[in-house]
Structure 1
Amino acid sequence: MEIITSIVSLLSGLAIFLVGIHQMSAGLENISSQRMQKGLSKVSNNRFLSFGFGAFITAVMQSSTLVTVMTISFLNANLLSLAQGIAIVLGANIGTTLTALISSFATVEYAIYLSLFTLVGVLMEMFAKKTKTKKFAQIFVGFGLIFIGLNFASSSFQTPEMKDFISSAFQAVNFPVLLIIISILFTILVNSSTLVVGLAIILVSSQTIPLEYALYIVLGAEVGTTSTGIIASLSGNANAKRLAFIQLIFNLLGTIVFTAILWIFTDEIVGLLNNVNPNFQVALFQIFFNVSTAFIAILFVNQLEKFSKKIIKDDTTSLASMNLQFIDEKLLVTPSFALTALHKEVKRMFDLTKENLILSFQSIKSQTPINPDIVKKNEETIDFLNGAISLYLVKLSGEHLSYKDELEIGKLYHLINDLERIADHAHNFILIVEEMVEVGSKFSGAAESELNQMTDQVLLMYDLAEDIYQNDAVEKLNELSVLEYVIDKSKSDFENNHVIRLRTGECSLEHSKFFYDFTSQLERIGDHLINIGYTTINVVGDEKENEKKFVSK
């Protein structure tokens, strides 16, 4: 009966420990995500800066698994180079050792008092009003729960029956390779090398198993932890798969080498570690393993990159148009990075929409459809992107966001709708030209010249609106307003001119429908472009306010 009670105590303690790790990691992530994005933009392709960044951010976030999955997501979103991703993951192997040290402190005398951090965090959560304070409260709660969980789990080994039961179980698998395999499988099962290493620390500090058993468990956990990255990369691009492959090979080779050394020199290594407090023996071994292997591997990043490219080839098929090339569900946990990827996806919409505008304007000028199949395909892709990005924005809005990120989401939602409407107009132009060809209608030279002027004005305005959005060039908004005014005036003037041409017989009545369709829709495109430009200072675009500013000049 005592064994059952002890097992329940062990499992409960480990569960509390995992909750603590998750809470602290989530809190640290909420505070550091903006700094992560700034840091990532600075490390560039310098392997040593990327290496240090990986170590630092993992130590801060307390999760090498999360950092690895995020890095794979960044590669899949083309936010990182492969060499940069390799260096970050190698650095993460060093940063994760801090968690083992924290776990070691949880097993020392008086460590239970550190669990009071949970009480401090709860009080902060209850009485704090500022969002930032609440984020720190989450960190404190998680930090305290780590010590509560490990202390609870450690207490399960105080009964002789439990110690004998666990000790006998390990004696039955008294073979290094078997211990490593079991550790690998268990790490994959619980999806946490931190939990496995923490359990090894408890088993050694409570003198339940020999130290060498725990060291083999640590080596197995280093291999098992790569499973998360492998799974995350399966739906990714070639570089994402390469990074997961490199992490697996790197950890596997390191484990093989250290297993051989430990197997041959067991007495010497155990004797050396016995000079250290038993609570810290496992953590120090993990630190030595991760630091030594990572520092060796960082010197061969280029070779690792070339090797992975030989094993995993580039995608032979071109990227399908009806898919998302940059945004990834895994990026949702880091909103700042998700927004960076979103901006790249929106840039695709800008490019496709402009291509359709150019083709449709060429069709208007030549009065014959130019590449209508391409326009139709692009239009379908733009519609898909509008829907997919909108859905992603809805999901992202459910995450913990800063006020700045909330505004950015609102801007993007309205912006992509304006782009989609512009693309609709471009597609309509092709349909109008096709109808003109079908009925044998042709514009007069004067009408053709006026439409060409308007299309040139719209293209100029399109480039300016995109520049304002991409570069936050608010100083160019007045210039955009002037262009919209010019387009509005052109519509009015050209339609009046067309009435005169109808009276003089220069144009026929059957042309009027097509001419007015073109001028009206070109003017509407100008309205959408002014909205896009003004999303830089207003979530929904501020056309009315813009008109007031222009009129007041």
Structure 2
Amino acid sequence: MGSFWMLFAIYTALFLLGMFMMKAGLYTLSGHRLKRWLMRFTATPLQGFAAGLATTALLQSSSAVMVMTVGLVAAGYLSFRQSIGIILGSNIGSTVTTELMTLDIGDGAIPLLVSGALLVFFGRHRLVLGIGMTTVGLAAVLFAMDGFGSLAKPLAAYPFVDAWLKETNRSVAVGLLVGIVLTALVHSSAATIGIAMGFLNEQLLTLSAAIALLLGANIGTCITGLLASIGSSKEAQLTAYTHLWLNVVGAALFAFWTEPLASFAARLSPAPDVQLAHVSVLFNVICSVAALPFVGAIEKVILFLHDRNRA
């Protein structure tokens, strides 16, 4: 069993490394313009929404955008109110990653990795280096996704994993808890969703159970922003709390609709992993678009809950 868990750890590390490489490559291409975009195009909630969506889609990491946003609020470049629109947009931008994870390029991952590595090692121009790092990262993520799928059935043969899968398939609450804890540990909701996709493709998880894991992952990813806000200004802490509450409320509401969501997603695609990716898009778009007109009310609620002196 140790060898399987070792491979599982290796694939998880490869996935996280790939995500880091993609983020670093895309940041190399965009430079510090992303920070300037966030500061310049956030005058209204709608502008902040668009800026958060675009920045997260470019960086392939909602956690990175949250850390950046918390830092800008702490430094006084953004207000707490401005950060709410960014958070809502960032939640939608993060779904680009889940859709990319479903790509099936077969043996194309190898030339993708080789070509990217050549660009990294021999590229001298910033543009070439950025493209190379992004390509290597994407190839690593796709390799890891294949690895998760190949390990799913062997891991499920062990009593502990089998019991966990059965409990997750039976209980939405268990799926939520597993998603929260696993994401908080690895600091990547994409990694948790990737693992869920591996079990889902092997028919070891039901789609409704995988949706529960996805909802939990959306809550667990808030730990990064909360950690980044420790010791920061009050407004920076309020930003992190807002990110947490928006995801908690959204997940709590959708937890009652995992079966209908699974039925609807099954009509969109025959591939289980693509179905889960589409649910991620649907969940985040509905929650963020529904909350956008109420930025002022959200601000007042968060102030009431966490800063009553100003409420």
Give distance in 1, aligned partners of 2:178 and 2:74. 32
* 1:196-223 CA distance string (max 9 Å, x none): 0111111111222111111110011111
Supply the distance in 2 between the matched residues of 1:269 and 1:75 (Cα, whole angstroms). Answer: 36
Aligned partners of 2:165 and 2:204 also within 8 Å: no
Q: CA distance change for structure 1 residues 171 and 126 in 2, over 3 Å: closer, same or farther?
A: same
| Equivalent pair of 1:204/1:211 in contact (CA under 8 Å) | yes
- Distance change >3 Å, CA 44–CA 183, structure 1 → 2: closer
> Distance in 2 between the 1:130 and 1:293 partners?
41
Match of 1:170, SS?
helix
Greater Cα shift, 110-119 or 81-90? 110-119
Q: Name the CA distance, whole Å, in 1 between partners of 2:229 and 2:76.
A: 13
Residue in 1 that maps onto 2:266: 274
Counterpart position of 1:301: 295
Tell me the CA shift for residue 230 of structure 1.
1.3
1:43 to 37, 41, 44: 41
Query: Contact 1:115 / 1:145 at 8 angstroms: preserved in 2?
Result: no
Residue of structure 2 equivalent to 1:310: 304
1:213 to 196, 203, 209: 209
Match of 1:72 in 2: 70
Find out whether 1:257 has 2:253 as its counterpart: yes
**Structure 1: runs of 5 or more not aligned:** 317-553
Q: Structure 1 residue 287 and structure 2 residue 281: aligned?
A: yes
**Deviates further, 22-31 or 70-79:** 22-31
Paired residue for 2:31, among 33, 43, 46? 33
> CA 1:315–1:237 in 2, change beyond 3 Å: closer, same or farther?
farther
Amino acid at match of 2:68: M
Structure whose alpha-carbon radius of gyration is higher: 1
1:112·1:151 contact (CA, 8 Å) conserved in 2? no
* Aligned counterpart, 1:154: 149
Distance 1:234 1:45 in 2: 26
Q: Is the 8 A contact 2:70 2:240 kept in 1?
A: yes
Moved more, 186-195 or 25-34: 25-34
* Corresponding residue SS for 1:104: coil
Are 2:184 and 1:188 aligned?
yes
Cα shift readout 1:512-552 (whole Å, capped 9, x = no counterpart): xxxxxxxxxxxxxxxxxxxxxxxxxxxxxxxxxxxxxxxxx
Equivalent position of 1:144 in the other structure: 139
Unmatched 5+ stretches in structure 2: none
Contact 1:230 1:241 in 2 (8 A): yes
Q: Which aligned pairs between 1:391-402 and structure 2 lie closer than 5 A?
A: none
Give the alignment partner of residue 235 of structure 1, picking from 225, 231, 237.
231
Kindly state the Cα deviation for residue 161 of structure 1 after the two structures are TM-superposed. Answer: 4.0
Give the SS at the match of 2:78. Answer: coil
TM-score normalised over the length of structure 1:
0.53
How many positions carry a matched residue from both structures? 305
Counterpart Cα distance in 2 of 1:269 and 1:81 = 36
In the superposition, the TM-score normalised over structure 2's length comes to: 0.91
Q: What is aligned with 1:6? A: 4
Query: Do the aligned residues in 1 keep the contact of 2:189 with 2:217 (CA within 8 Å)?
Result: yes
Amino acid at match of 2:226: I
Contact conserved, 1:241 with 1:312, CA < 8 A, in 2? no
Decide whether aligned partners of structure 1 residues 41 and 219 sit closer, same or farther in structure 2, where only a CA change above 3 A counts.
Answer: closer
In 1, Cα distance between equivalents of 2:95 and 2:42? 25
Higher RCO, 1 vs 2 (CA within 8 Å, ≥6 residues apart): 2
Tell me if the contact between 2:113 and 2:135 (Cα under 8 Å) persists in the aligned partners.
yes
Aligned-partner SS, 2:31: helix
Cα pair 1:55 1:95 within 8 Å, conserved: yes
For the residue of structure 2 that corresponds to 1:180, the secondary structure is helix
Structure 2 vs 1, CA of residues 87 and 115 (structure 1 numbering), >3 Å: closer, same or farther?
farther
RMSD (Å) for aligned C-alpha atoms: 2.0
Q: State the shift of 1:117 in Å.
A: 1.9
* Separation in 2, partners of 1:308, 1:271: 35
1:115 Cα deviation from its structure 2 partner: 4.1
1:274 is paired with a residue of what secondary structure? Answer: helix
How far apart, in 1, do the equivalents of 2:52 and 2:113 lie? Answer: 28
